[in-house]
Amino acid sequence: MIPDHWRRAALTPPTAAGEPLGSGVLRASPEDFEVEEILGFAASGEGPHALLRVRKRGANTEWVARELARAAGCKPFEVGFAGLKDRNAVTTQHFTVPRGKRVAEEFTGLTGEGYEVLAAAAHQRKLPRGALEGNRFAITVRALDCDAAVLQERMARIGAGGAPNYFGPQRFGRDAGNLAQVLSLAAQLARGERPRSRDRSAQGFMLSAARSVIFNAILAERITSNTWSSLLAGDVANLDGRGSVFPVEAPDADLEHRCAALDVHPTAPLWGEGASLAGGEISALEERVAAQFPEALAVIAQERMKSERRALRIRVRDLEHEYSAGVLRLAFALSAGSFATTVLREIIAAVDPGE
């Protein structure tokens, strides 16, 4: 059984903007949830790989990767992609395949069940996980009844101040099943059992969930104390849209101004080995909250995962909306690794028929 505080951190953490303004239906069809990857670079124009721009509908990323491997005559592990995308959506994302003796452009127009290659060009390297600047979203919510003026105010608040950078429920699996696996593995370790080898993909999801639930719980604590969007003494700051972090002994006027402008953000740990950069009360808070998840800590320690930092806040770029006749249409862009559903829950309560 998954403890209640684990479920709250994973699935129902506190919002920062207030109560949802109404309830609506998300993903009545895949076209209601469109995602487009922003790579941040172009194909090199030469090399042994083909960089493919692929549109998929109703198909998951790993299945499309296997289909592309079959078409390219290569092993599935030779196919590269930057990140996983929702199945119940229309997504445009990038893959690389070894092109062999083919001209890369020959892959353009390749189609299969649920996917189509829109463009292809020669590229020097296999596309690695995480090689992504961000994602652009176009989301339609139906059967929504809310006050248009209050909605406008909420959108302006999020556009100006950002949104909590929670890991979305996708990270934790259906009915938080990835967390159940964390607890199961921790129980085995406590009994001194040697865990059986696990599927590498499933293991990755499970380990990621172990760190993500701790992060969400720390962010929830910062939201409750209304410090999630402010830099405090002992914080570790992140440069917006980048992996760079630095400790903050005491925020000065310049740092406070940059934080208000969403140029820098406070962070929380993705738990793992290594000394924390946080200090003082921030370090104590993080240690105290993490201690509430001893099973997750045991699994993380067993796997010798390295500590990282993640911003507590996301800048919601190019935020636009239209609301008419019970239909809300949203468009915005997020940095890689952030979840559109965490932005959406700051506005409305969405009923997703696909969940």
> What's the CATH code of the domain at 185?
3.30.2340.10
- Work out the pLDDT band at 21, boundaries 50, 70, 90: very high
Over the stretch 244-255, which tens digit does the pLDDT of each residue have?
Answer: 899 999 999 999
Pair (192, 309) in one structural domain: yes
CA–CA distance, 332 with 339 (Å, rounded to integer): 11
Residue 205 pLDDT: 86
Q: In terms of domains, do 176 and 310 share one? A: yes
Q: Report the C-alpha gap between 163 and 279 in whole angstroms.
A: 24
Mean pLDDT of 310-336: 96
Residue 28 lies in a domain: no
Higher confidence at residue 324 or residue 130?
A: 324
| Encoded tokens for 164 | 């909590």
Phi, psi of 246 (to 5 degrees): -155, 145
CA distances from 171 to 5, 63, 339, 349 (A): 16, 18, 10, 19
Mean pLDDT of 271-297: 96
> 352 lies in a domain?
no
Are 191 and 116 members of one domain? no
The whole-number average pLDDT for the span 46-52 is: 95
- Taking the C-alpha atoms of residue 50 and residue 96, their distance in angstroms, rounded to an integer, is 5
The answer to the question of residue 320 being in a domain is no
Express as a percent the part of the chain with pLDDT over 70: 98
The Cα–Cα gap between 30 and 57 comes to 7
- Which amino acid, one-letter code, is at 9? A
- Full residue range of the structural domain in which residue 165 is found: 4-21+156-314
Identity of the residue numbered 308: E
| Sequence-distant (≥ 6) Cβ neighbours of residue 351 within 8 angstroms | 23, 24, 25, 26
- In the numeric block, the tokens 């696909």 are attached to 354
On whether residue 300 sits in a domain, the answer given is: yes
pLDDT of residue 354: 61
The verdict on residue 349 lying in a domain is no
Instruction: Kindly state whether residue 334 falls inside one of the protein's structural domains.
Output: no
Q: What angle do CA 161, 165, 166 make, to 5 degrees?
A: 140
Residues 95, 241 within the same domain: no
Mean pLDDT, rounded, for 77-98: 93
The mean of the pLDDT values for the chain is 94
87 or 155, greater pLDDT: 155
Confidence at 86, pLDDT banded by 50, 70, 90: confident
**How confident is the model over 26-55, as a mean pLDDT?**
94
Q: Which residue is listed with tokens 């008419």? A: 324
Number of domain units in the chain? 2
State the distance between the two ends of the chain, measured CA to CA, in whole angstroms.
20
Q: Which two tokens stand for residue 3?
A: 């403890």
Listing DSSP states for 222-238 in one string gives HHHTT-TTS--TT-EEE
220, 237 in Cβ contact below 8 A? no
Which H or E run includes 70? Answer: helix 61-72
Same domain? For 293 and 207 the reply is: yes
- pLDDT, one tens digit per residue, over 258-273 is 999 999 999 999 999 9
Q: Where is pLDDT greater, at 1 or 343? A: 343
d(CA 229, CA 79): 39
Task: Give the mean pLDDT of 214-229.
Answer: 97
Instruction: State the Cα–Cα distance between residues 14 and 345, nearest whole angstrom.
Output: 10
Regarding whether 266 and 188 lie in a shared domain, the answer is: yes
Query: 116 with 242, same domain?
Result: no
Q: Are residues 10 and 77 in the same domain?
A: no
Is 4 a residue of the active site? no
Is the pLDDT score of 237 beyond 80? yes
Question: Annotated catalytic residue: which of 86, 199, 252, 352?
Answer: 86
Do residues 53 and 100 both lie within one domain?
yes
Domain contains 332 = no
Predicted local distance difference test score (pLDDT) of residue 201: 72
Beta bridge mates, 321: 330
| Same domain (yes/no): 163, 310 | yes
Check which CATH number belongs to the domain holding 91 and give it: 3.30.2350.20
pLDDT value for 204:
85
Question: 330: which strand partners?
Answer: 139, 321
Would you say residue 198 has pLDDT above 80?
Answer: no
Specify which residues 268 forms β-bridges with: 310
SS3 160: helix
What are 314's strand-pairing partners?
Answer: 163
Domain contains 270: yes
Secondary structure class of 203 (helix, strand, coil): helix
Q: Are residues 51 and 181 in the same domain?
A: no
223 pLDDT higher than 70: yes
Q: Confidence band (pLDDT; 50, 70, 90) for 197?
A: low
Asked whether residue 53 carries a pLDDT value surpassing 80, the answer given is: yes
